[in-house]
Structure 1
Amino acid sequence: MQTVVVVIHLMIVVVLVGAVLLQKSEGGGLGMGGGAGFMSSRGTANLLTRTTAILAVGFFATSLLLSWMASADRKPTSIMGDQPASQSRSGGVTPVTPPTSGGVLDTLKKADQQQQQKQAPAAPQAPQSQ
């Protein structure tokens, strides 16, 4: 069903582009304008305007239908996945335990405090390798 609607949608798009390109130019964009073409009568302009409007409605309708059809199959899923709450330990792999010190931020905070506790030397010293 979706393939049929896509094909109809594409046919509407092609005909709509053709209908818009056949219409008489109204503006003076880039100095191009009207001229006498084979579509110069007022009746033809009304026909093209109506055709464009009908095709535009068809384009929007098929677009909405396609988006509705695409979302009809979608089921809500969890970003956490389908794993059970208690995982079994298989293969002798031990689970990773979270650090008890509070994490990376606490480690960085302790390192910063240790640097602040070091007193500045009274006299200039030569660099030391670590």
Structure 2
Amino acid sequence: MQRSIKVRPPDTILVSATDHGRLTGLARASLDRLPDTAEELLSEMDRATVATAGALPDNVVRMGSTIVARNGGGAEQRMTLVYPADADIAAQRISVLTPLGTALIGAQVGHCVQWTTRDGREMMLDIVEVLPPHADRT
């Protein structure tokens, strides 16, 4: 089966001003504890295009978004991108301070995100749907 989804170009990270500020602070505070992941998140924030929350399209992954993604074998999974304190792998609540979480932030429907797991495996997922966070989520 031929893939129609493109790998996310390096200049297509779009984040809200609120997420940008919070995530930059979180990454800086995590440099001692999780240096590799924190550095990657800082790198993503450095190259991100920052938009006001109202200008961010619904199909862009932001904090609190629920993402439907498909792996190379065609299996779909649903996950929600959260801050570390809210992470729960059994509930598919993925911390932004994981390699997958950092790869997801700012991605859009139609992109393929790639990341390296902490044990060195190369992984990728196609983003097929993004549900924006509920108004009561932070």
Superposition TM-score tier, normalisation by shorter sequence? under 0.3
The TM-score normalised by the length of structure 1 is 0.23
Answer 1 or 2: which has greater strand percent: 2
Q: Which of the pair has more CA radius of gyration?
A: 1
Answer 1 or 2: which has greater helix percent: 1
Larger RCO of the pair (alpha carbons < 8 Å, separation 6+): 2
The TM-score normalised by the length of structure 2 is 0.22
